[in-house]
Amino acid sequence: MSNDYRPMWEELGLDLDAHDALLNVLNQGYGDIYLSQQNRPETMAYFDFVMSEVHGLRIRELLDEKDKGRKIVGSYCVFVPEEIVLAADATLVGLCSGADFALEEVENWLPRNTCALIKSSFGFKLGKVCPYLECADMIVGENTCDGKKKAYETFSSLVENLYVMDLPQVKSDPGKTLLAAEFDRFRQAMEHLTGKPITAESLKYGIETVNAKRAALHRLYALRHADPAPISGLDALLANQVSFYDNPARFTESVHKICDELESRIAEKKGVFPEKTPRILVSGCPQAVPNWKLHHIVETSGAVIVGEESCVGERGTRNLTDDTGGTPEEMMEAIVDRYFQINCAIFTPNGDRLDHIRQMAADYKADAVIHYSLQFCQPYLMESLPVENTLKNEGLPALRIETDYSMQDAGQLKTRIEAFIEQLR
């Protein structure tokens, strides 16, 4: 990445030495994991470019938007409605939370046995290495799990612009009423932030833009049903990850270009792995940049990942928002309806999530499921055993993985995963 960005990073308040160290690790890891893959789709070159400029050109674009008066909103969760952000003429971006950073300092603020994702978000702030965080005019937290709920109390002392959204924990009428009230409060907060009223026209634009992005990903997911797999799980994961950072219209166009190429590959029976390679569905915790560990281990151990039941995957993008409403009230109701269908592990009971895993396993022709949980992530850890047992009772092999962002357990994980894949053969 060009040194021309250093004045920009310095102006944002980044620790330049620490940020250089982060980028060196990121670039090395990306080269070793992504660029070493064989027979990648040519259209993945765009996403390689995005990753090479993820802290450079994209940040400059966001700062240019800010110079023109547009607000930047940072988020850690798929429950934050991008439709409303766009309707207020603002930009939504994902925030850094996929790697360990400044762990020693983080543990002065949080208990050691805090979820790895929460500790990561603190580490990027305390280490001053996330330009998305530093350029955001509003940071949106959400009370999903108890860990996040309490962590945001502490995080509020580190940032000046934190907005916390409450979320229901039960799929019920009162739960949906709570979500509707919170989304309306968020709508008002966005109007206050930008100084622009959210209208029927602007909501229509927000819904159509986000629907188009999700529809492009739906097309990509459907093409992954093919055997041989036309794209690696790693490359599909990258597309999901980039969806949180990139300009929505540009991202949508780029995904459709991938899909055009994949359709040609499928017609030619051309895959990234041989036909009949064991097919794995990954279910569980989200995997943010640069968390590529599990996919890399699986796909260098003799299997291919064909789908993700994850917030960085089909769970996060599964449903479109009804775009037939004519009034702001009807459109807001449609947005609530769409987000209330997300099957996060925070919900209890959560049978819909198990049904979704079963359906995905069938659709993607998966030979097995790996349930992935981040260390100390209680909701997904609590659901992992019921998921495993239910799938095994139905004759579908399942493996539970609990890990963090470090590579210290990579050898142990590879041994377990290789043995699991060998059983599938």
pLDDT digits (tens, 9 = 90+) for 280-289: 999 999 999 9
Residue where a domain stops, chosen among 153, 175, 197: 197
Shared domain check, 139 and 23: yes
User: Is 220 in contact with 255 (CB distance < 8 Å)?
Assistant: yes
Residue where a domain stops, chosen among 165, 197, 229: 197
Is there a domain that residue 334 lies in?
Answer: no
Say how far apart CA 387 and CA 390 lie, in whole Å: 5
Say how far apart CA 268 and CA 119 lie, in whole Å: 46
DSSP code of residue 13: T
**Range 260-263, long-range pairs (CB < 8 A, 24+ positions):** 260/43, 261/41, 261/42, 261/43, 262/41, 262/220, 262/223, 262/230, 262/231, 263/223
Say how far apart CA 376 and CA 210 lie, in whole Å: 32
Shared domain check, 213 and 188: no
Shared domain check, 279 and 174: no
CATH number at residue 155: 3.40.50.11890
Give the count of alpha carbons within 13 A of 89, CB side only: 15
Is there a domain that residue 330 lies in?
Answer: no
Question: The whole model's pTM is what?
Answer: 0.97
Residue where a domain stops, chosen among 171, 197, 223: 197
Shared domain check, 394 and 265: yes
User: Is 263 in contact with 217 (CB distance < 8 Å)?
Assistant: no
Shared domain check, 218 and 191: no
User: Is 168 in contact with 49 (CB distance < 8 Å)?
Assistant: no
Q: What is the pLDDT of residue 425?
A: 85
Which single residue is written with the structure tokens 């609990």? 402
Q: How many domains does the chain have?
A: 2
Shared domain check, 191 and 259: no
Shared domain check, 119 and 8: yes
Shared domain check, 37 and 182: yes
Is there a domain that residue 19 lies in?
Answer: yes
Beta bridge partners of 223: none
Is there a domain that residue 33 lies in?
Answer: yes
Q: What is the pLDDT of residue 3?
A: 62
Is there a domain that residue 328 lies in?
Answer: no
Q: Which residues of 351-384 are buried (b: 16+ CB within 10 A; e: fewer)?
A: eebbebbbebbebbebbbbbbbbbbbbebbbebb
Is there a domain that residue 135 lies in?
Answer: yes
Q: pLDDT tens track of the chain, all 425 residues?
A: 556 899 999 999 999 999 999 999 999 999 999 999 999 999 999 999 999 999 999 999 999 999 999 999 999 999 999 999 999 999 999 999 999 999 999 999 999 999 999 999 999 999 999 999 999 999 999 999 999 999 999 999 999 999 999 999 999 999 999 999 999 999 999 999 999 999 999 999 999 999 999 999 999 999 999 999 999 999 999 999 999 999 999 999 999 999 999 999 999 999 999 999 999 999 999 999 999 999 999 999 999 999 999 999 999 999 999 999 999 999 999 999 999 999 999 999 999 999 999 999 999 999 999 999 999 999 999 999 999 999 999 999 999 999 999 999 999 999 999 999 999 98
Is there a domain that residue 411 lies in?
Answer: yes
Shared domain check, 100 and 78: yes
Shared domain check, 219 and 179: no
User: Is 191 in contact with 88 (CB distance < 8 Å)?
Assistant: yes
Shared domain check, 388 and 272: yes
Say how far apart CA 137 and CA 162 lie, in whole Å: 9
What is the DSSP code string of 204-237?
HHHHHHHHHHHHHHHHHHHHTTSSS-SS-HHHHH
Is there a domain that residue 372 lies in?
Answer: yes
CATH number at residue 246: 3.40.50.11900
Domain limits for position 58 = 3-197
Shared domain check, 75 and 170: yes
Closest CA to 144 of 370, 332, 315: 315
